[in-house]
Amino acid sequence: MNFSLTMSPSDLLLLLPEILLTSWLCLILIIDFSFPRLPNEQLAYLSIAGLVATLGCLAWFDITGITGTLFANMFVLDRMALFFKMFIVGSTILVILASIDYIHRFKFFRGEYYFLIVMSALGMMFMASANDLLSVFVTLEFSTFGFYVLVAYLREDMASNEAGIKFFILGVFAAGLLAYGISLVYGETGKLVFSDMKAAQATPGLAIGFLLIFGALGFKIGAVPFHSWIPDTYHGSPTPVTAFLSIAPKGAAFAILLRMFFVALATFKPIWVLLLVAASILSMTYGNIVAIAQKNMKRLLAYSGIAQIGNVLIGLAAGTKMGSDAILFYLLTYLFANLGAFAIIIAVSEAIGSEEIDDYSGLGRRSPFLAFSMLIFLLSLAGVPPLAGFIGKLYIFVAAMKEGLYALITVGLINIVISMYYYLIVVKKMYISEPHDPSPLKVSGPIKMVVYVCLAGTLAIGIYPQPFTDWVVSAILMFSNLAVPTASLPVPPAVTPFGG
Amino acid sequence: MGDYALLYILFAPFVGAIALIFVSNRQAMLVRGIAAGSAFVCLLASLYLFYAYDHVKGGFQFVQRFEWSRQLGISLHLGVDGIGTPLVLASGILLFAGIFVSWHIKDRTKEFYIWLLILAAATIGVFMSLDLFFLYFFYEMSVIPMYLLLGMWGSHTKKYNEMTDPEGLKQRDSVGFIFNFGSNSKEYAAMKLVLFLSAFAVAALMGILLIYKYSGLNTFDILVLREQARLMNIPVLGTTLDKIIWLLIFFGFASIAPLWPLHSWSPVGHAAAPAATSMLHAGVLMKLGHFSIIRVAFEILPETTRELMPIAAVLCMFSIVYGGFVAFYAKDTKYVIGYSSSSHMGYVFLGMAALDYISLTGAVMYMFAHAMATGMLFAMAGWVYDQTHTRDIPSLGGLSNRMPFISGCFVVGCMASIGVPGTVNFIAEVMIIVGSWNKYPFQVIVAVVGIVLTLAYLFKMMRGLFYGPMDQKYSHAHDAVAVVDRLPLLIMITVSIGFFFFPMHLYNVVRSGVDPLIAKITRVVPIADSGAGFGLMTEATGPAGTHDAQLLANNPVPPTSHTSREPQ
């Protein structure tokens, strides 16, 4: 293995988005220190400007098709990485916009808040490009590092501190799992780059190693049985951080999961399909059933998030090109619906100071805009046409159906109905229950903007998904020659025109 | 217009709903005007569609096809055949009438009309979808507006109000309260409706996905699937795949129809819903079930349909009798009409189960006729409720003095619902009964008993509402005098009676959709229909039945049935 670090300018070009964001990160920090009296909004808009520039750069790469690998395949910039980077940067922009009104709750270190968010985004951008077990470890820890601080940002709040401790201890534990898994895999195969492992022999050590790595990534995406940190952390964290935590790391972790399962472990598909089917069924069922009992909006979305991740795992279990398309597409729909719902939670909690579902009573009368948007986002999460979530779910189910995962699809379909119940409970509170206090709510500009963007995304993807499906399909063309054993289809016998 | 008629019908309500978003709730007349305008466009276009449909040519007409998703093989493929056309017309009429029936809604008028228009548009979308994906898309889309319409503008039952009254305190502590309280509220009704229908809808979706996979064609297009899908003879779980798919599709869609064991959401939902919603719900939403079964199961799995349709023939008896008896004993006007609807839907299942040219034509015509009849009844029950604020039949009475117009219309509505000659229901009922007699004589006897039951409970309700002594507290109740209040009832009465006297176009249109279907399923060429009209109908069925049997016995596998279906 050649670890020489000779770089040409054209190699540097591949790192341009990351370099851009890193320098911007330093700029944010310097400006924050140099002008302590600068209003927070300025810093927020400054961060957004940097992120938009990065997004533009990524879009330019995507359109002109600039791709390549760096550092002896440790860093890969293909169209899938570009998709996930845009996903992460886009969600970061929305999260920062949604934070502007929330920031006054932090007594100290308001400037560093933006720094930490952008830093986590940077870590996740590297995660999307990680093509090697070492870079997986480094980038994963890099991105989680910012979150450890962000989760506990409400220093006076016990719940936030508890969330931070819980997240930290379990996160470090997951990091330990990851490191141990990597060492086992390296010991068994002598390889670190995913694409070099294709020829690996199935040994117990390799199996345990990958199981441990899957555990660490499962912690990141919050799949059962690695979900236990999710509810408390989501509940205790500052809401914008919860929103960020519920979207961006999942996208980045799925980038790694896709590379790991579809490239490194492609030959072992019959084995890992069982693992993923089990994780998916458990996540969907557990998340949806426990969500029914929730009284707090953030906890509800935490459990519904666990269930949504179960849905995404169906696509991974399908293990085909179409399955990976469906994952990307589903994450896109999830981004808009989930971020939109969290933006409304922020708006409502700014106005009435509560995140309890009961306090959403009569929201339809107090703020028709918020209630209607929330309705759209929740129904999209539930998977009701004509919203994005429905197409996402259908895409995933079709991909799994082609592989013949009937049990998984049946469980998934039943879970749609279960999830409809608790989403509709919120709808009932908003529209049917009478308000405790009928005064209208005020919604600030930035939050409105986030909600508009998310509404537009949810409706556009739901009504005409063709451009989006085209995008995701072209984003993972690299899997199109994926060597997957075809599922054992019973070949229909030649049928006489009318049976017999 | 012309070729784009379907797009006008489908998108007029959507455009109206979107336009309403930008109107303030304070401009009530403007809100109503926009809603009525878009419904009027929809109605005009569906009238045009109905009369421009060429029944000689038959098949799917006004076809529109837009690529929607290449990866999944979905296209927005719209088109109507003889079965969809009258149902689209019925939806158009009921939407237009429903706008006027809910003219006096004061609370959040704008939102009400938005959801009503979306509900109607989604329903219409199902009737014209030629793509399995969009069929399901519109089907599921029609369920969610029901939740909001029931929850926001619906009403609790009498029992619920009693229990929450200050005087009902004693009841509130009773065990009965704990078990009964929730089930009498509108929230319960709305949630039950949505979860019940969604649960069965996903069963149908499973069936659709199985068709998609095993056809191997990578398309959801019904027209392609019905020609090319080969789903027979694949052994699964001790039976064959086609049977599993058929059962998933049948019971998935039969839940909204509603077939007997799956009916329990329906009366509760009807009772809680506001009048216009009940009209659309009983008038067209329930027909989505029959229609989807015809469109998916009959078209794509004709062989399996012939084998398994007796299931419907058995269950429809329970539907008819059970619904009839509960309606007889129910004390709530909307429960009576709701159960009568689910009882009458049993006739449609009987007509479908017999798989006969006449009976299926009758079934489709009955769907149309029932939409008008039940629409009228719900509209008037809604009017009575608005005036008296109760739906409790024993506490009402003698209202004909206060509202002569309504009580007059109610008689017509009851006649239509019973199927008295003079209304199109009669024609449809007779066709179902005559058409199914050969195959299911016992069920036909049950159906006739059902008609007697209908007579009994509707007359009982009519007497309870409009005749006898009147409670003085209802002396303020007044009649429908304004044009907007009378218009919807008059429209529905005109349609119901008009099609009795001029049924031939309706019959021809429906028949042109039924003929190829039954020919494909039963592999029997229809008996020559000289087109001389109804006189021939009964004459033709007798021989047709025996003829069918002989044909089947002698010639079980005719080589190409599609081509031999043209009536000679």
According to the model, what pLDDT value does residue B330 have? Answer: 84
According to the model, what pLDDT value does residue A267 have? Answer: 78
Chain A residues with CB-CB distance to B212 below 8 A: 398, 401
Chain A residues with CB-CB distance to B231 below 8 A: 492
Name the pLDDT band for B174 (thresholds 50, 70, 90).
low
Q: How far apart are CA A368 and CA A374, in angstroms?
A: 10
Q: Is A369 on the interface with B (CB under 8 A)?
A: no
According to the model, what pLDDT value does residue B566 have? Answer: 42
According to the model, what pLDDT value does residue B292 have? Answer: 93
According to the model, what pLDDT value does residue B553 have? Answer: 43
Domain ranges of chain B: 1-308, 311-568
H/E stretch holding A137:
helix A133-151
Specify the pairing of strand A75-77 against strand A68-70. Answer: antiparallel
Report the SS3 class of residue A318.
helix
Q: What is the distance in angstroms between the Cα of A257 and the nearest Cα belonging to chain B?
A: 23
Q: Which residues contact B149 (CB under 8 A, 6 or more apart)?
A: B112, B115, B116, B119, B273, B274, B277
Q: What is the distance in angstroms between the Cα of B41 and the nearest Cα belonging to chain A?
A: 23
Q: Is A431 on the interface with B (CB under 8 A)?
A: yes
DSSP B94-106: HHHHHHHHTTT--
To 10 degrees, what angle do helices A445-463 and A79-99 make? 140
Inter-chain contact A500–B213, Cβ cutoff 8 Å? no
Task: Of A140, A219, A204, give the one whose Cα is nearest residue A174.
Answer: A219
The alpha-carbon radius of gyration of chain A (Å, integer) is 22
Higher pLDDT, residue B49 or B565: B49
Q: Which residues contact B298 (CB under 8 A, 6 or more apart)?
A: B305, B517, B521
Chain A residues with CB-CB distance to B235 below 8 A: 490
Range B387-410 average pLDDT: 84
pLDDT in tens, B301-312: 888 888 888 888
The alpha-carbon radius of gyration of chain B (Å, integer) is 23
Q: Which residues contact A95 (CB under 8 A, 6 or more apart)?
A: A117, A240, A243, A244, A247, A248, A339
According to the model, what pLDDT value does residue A242 have? Answer: 92
- CA torsion A362→A363→A365→A367, rounded to 10°? 170
Q: How far apart are CA B163 and CA B171, in angstroms?
A: 6
Most B CBs within 10 A among A408, A432, A452, A471, hence the mutation to make, goes to: A432
pLDDT in tens, A132-176: 888 999 999 998 888 998 898 888 888 888 888 999 999 999 999
| Cα first-last separation, chain A | 64
Q: How far apart are CA A141 and CA A173, in angstroms?
A: 12
Inter-chain contact A431–B212, Cβ cutoff 8 Å? no
Least confident span in A306-320, A406-420, A441-455, B185-199:
B185-199
According to the model, what pLDDT value does residue A354 have? Answer: 86
Inter-chain contact A413–B191, Cβ cutoff 8 Å? no
Q: CA separation (Å) from A411 to A221, A307, A407, B197, B203? A: 20, 11, 6, 17, 11
Chain A residues with CB-CB distance to B199 below 8 A: 414, 417
Range B411-430 average pLDDT: 90
> Which residue in B199, B233, B558 is closest to A495 by CB distance?
B233
**Average pLDDT in chain A:** 86
pLDDT in tens, A338-389: 999 999 999 998 888 888 888 888 888 888 889 999 999 999 999 888 899 9
Question: Residue A146 has which token pair?
Answer: 């910012």
Inter-chain contact B202–A431, Cβ cutoff 8 Å? no
> Which residue in A465, A495, A498 is closest to B69 by CB distance?
A465
Query: Which amino acid type is present at position A101?
Result: D
Q: How far apart are CA A174 and CA A163, in angstroms?
A: 16
Chain B residues with CB-CB distance to A500 below 8 A: 557
Cβ proximity of A33 and A102 under 8 Å: no
> Tokens 């009519």 identify what position?
B462
Question: Residue B476 has which token pair?
Answer: 């303020």
b/e for B169-206, b at 16 or more Cβ within 10 A? eebeeeeebeeebeebbbbbbbbbbbbbbbbbbbbbbb
Chain A residues with CB-CB distance to B148 below 8 A: 427, 431
Range B127-141 average pLDDT: 91
Q: How far apart are CA B427 and CA B414, in angstroms?
A: 16
Inter-chain contact A492–B231, Cβ cutoff 8 Å? yes
Cβ proximity of B370 and B495 under 8 Å: no
Inter-chain contact B151–A322, Cβ cutoff 8 Å? no
Across the A:B interface, residue pairs with CB atoms under 8 Å apart total 114
Question: Residue A289 has which token pair?
Answer: 């059933």
Q: Is A80 on the interface with B (CB under 8 A)?
A: no
Q: CA separation (Å) from A48 to A43, A112, A117, A366? A: 9, 14, 11, 31
H/E stretch holding B240:
strand B239-240
**Residue A371 C-beta-side C-alpha neighbours within 13 Å:** 25
Inter-chain contact B151–A432, Cβ cutoff 8 Å? yes
Cβ proximity of A407 and A277 under 8 Å: yes
Q: Which residues contact A286 (CB under 8 A, 6 or more apart)?
A: A224, A227, A306, A307
Q: How far apart are CA A273 and CA B551, in angstroms?
A: 52
Query: Would you call B238 exposed, middle or buried from its count of C-beta atoms within 10 A (0-12, 13-18, 19+)?
Result: exposed
Chain B residues with CB-CB distance to A391 below 8 A: 69
> Which residue in A368, A410, A469 is closest to B206 by CB distance?
A410
Inter-chain contact A410–B199, Cβ cutoff 8 Å? no
Inter-chain contact B151–A428, Cβ cutoff 8 Å? yes
Inter-chain contact A401–B133, Cβ cutoff 8 Å? no
**Average pLDDT in chain B:** 83
Chain B residues with CB-CB distance to A498 below 8 A: 303, 523, 557-558, 561
Higher pLDDT, residue B253 or B469: B253
Name the pLDDT band for A322 (thresholds 50, 70, 90).
confident
Q: CA separation (Å) from B300 to A116, B69, B561? A: 57, 22, 14
pLDDT in tens, B223-246: 888 887 776 677 777 788 888 899
